[in-house]
Amino acid sequence: MKKIWWIGVWVMGNPMVVNLLAAWYEVNVYNRTAKKAQNLIEKWAQLRSTILELVNASDIVITIIWDPKSVEEVYFWEAWIFSAELTGKTLIDMTTTEPSLATKIYNTAKVHNCNSLDAPVSWGDVGAQSGTLSIMVGGDEQIFTEILPLFGILWKSITYTWWAWNGQHTKMANQISIAGNTIALCESLVYAQKVWLDIEKTIQVVSAGAAWNWWWTNLAPRIQIWELDTCFYIKHFVKDMRIALDECQKMNIVLPWLALVHQLYTALISQWDQELWTQALIKILRKLNNLPES
């Protein structure tokens, strides 16, 4: 059984490590805020005090942290990942980050005689807890195949996307679709409220027709009861959309809807709270249309 080194045990990483421990993997963890790993220590994870101490105790290195800047620091700062002896080890970054950074990690890993996969995930903390995440993996196919048993514990859908960085590009396509679906749902509900439709019946009718999707089944009922604190943090989603927009700029791609949704969420953060969840977009649309919040 290979030893796993895991960096980042907050909203996503914590339940994922729990699932690995339940499958009897030996997991060493590191988190800048050590107390967030306390429940994992109680389940027999080993808490390491430094990155260099951690790497010597592990065969596979998994990171799932906040943003591209944090990923850059964890991999490239002095006395962090690429300062360690990595020969033969496998690095897996599951953070949603920049494709260019995934490429940099992949190329640097080759110099250090180790392997790298970029493997962002979808389905959020609920999927992490239940082991039903969807993962999109870029990197060498042989390494992907070797890691499959580990992935199988954590995810229901595992897709190999070929080259390094393609995992991150696939995640960007996923987030662009989420942006469109979320604003479409919220605009539909604002329209229904404005013309005095019964919101519960509207949700039932639309969910039974051609416009049905996951958002109507899962987020519309939450919006109806004004439950805006479960699903996916706005601050994370805005970060992801910013990455997608930067990639679009590099490639001269024009995606007006993505740009609009990013602007609306940015306004939502400035007027309310970045700790709300994605369906809270309804707040700013209701304000624009002079509707009560709930």
Q: Where are the domains of the chain?
A: 3-163, 169-288
Residues 149, 153, 156, 161: is their CA dihedral positive or negative?
negative
Per-residue pLDDT at 134 exceeds 90: no
Per-residue pLDDT at 41 exceeds 80: no
CATH topology of domain 169-288: N-(1-d-carboxylethyl)-l-norvaline Dehydrogenase; domain 2 (1.10.1040)
Beta carbons within 8 Å of 52's beta carbon, 6+ residues apart:
79, 80, 83, 84
67-109-132 Cα angle (round to 5): 50
Number of H helices, E strands in the chain: 14, 9
Average pLDDT over residues 236-250: 95
Whether residue 134 contacts residue 121, with contact meaning beta carbons closer than 8 Å, is answered with yes
Per-residue pLDDT tens for 162-200? 999 999 999 999 999 999 999 999 999 999 999 999 999
- One fold for both 3-163 and 169-288? no
3-state helix, strand, coil in the chain (%, to 5): 55, 15, 30
Instruction: Identify the architecture of domain 3-163 in CATH.
Output: 3-Layer(aba) Sandwich (3.40)
3-class state of residue 210 by DSSP: coil
CA distance readout (Å), 277 to 32, 64, 130, 259, 280? 24, 20, 20, 19, 6
Confidence class for position 130, pLDDT limits 50, 70, 90: low
Per-residue pLDDT at 273 exceeds 80: no
Confidence class for position 5, pLDDT limits 50, 70, 90: confident
Per-residue pLDDT at 129 exceeds 60: no
* Positions marked catalytic: 171
